[in-house]
Structure 1
Amino acid sequence: MTRLIALLLLAGTAMLAAGCNTMAGAGEDISKGGNAITNSAEKAK
């Protein structure tokens, strides 16, 4: 079971990296998502 979870996480990471073309691109995408959540939370205060 642990191997299956590890395999799925690895596959998901590979898909994310391939979709963004680079790991730097993945980091930028994740950062933008975090900023959007932060901005929404600030507006909701």
Structure 2
Amino acid sequence: MTASTLTKIAAACAVLMVLASCANTIRGVGRDTANAVHATEDAGHTVKRAAQ
């Protein structure tokens, strides 16, 4: 293999790793946001029950 081919393969691997990392981060942020929404809803229900 030539240096040019190795460089292209290394660049492709780097791009794949970056894209995989972004996908994991986006999924993590989505989960965190969903958890925050659920916690807020639970707190609202608790306050509503306490006020009755």
Count of paired positions: 25
Letter in 1 for 2:5: G
Could you give the per-residue CA deviations for residues 1-45 of structure 1, whole angstroms, max 9, x where no partner exists? xxxxxxxxxxxxxxxxxxxx2100000000000000000000001
2:8 counterpart of 1:28: yes
Which of 17, 27, 37 matches 1:37? 17
- Taking structure 1 as the reference length, what is the TM-score of the superposition? 0.53
- Taking structure 2 as the reference length, what is the TM-score of the superposition? 0.46
| Structure possessing the higher radius of gyration over alpha carbons | 2
Structure 2: 5+ residue runs without aligned partners?
26-52
Structure 1: 5+ residue runs without aligned partners?
1-20
Q: State, as a whole percentage, how many aligned pairs show the same letter.
A: 4
Q: Which runs of 4+ in 1 moved over 3 A?
A: none
| RMSD of aligned residue pairs (Cα, Å) | 0.5
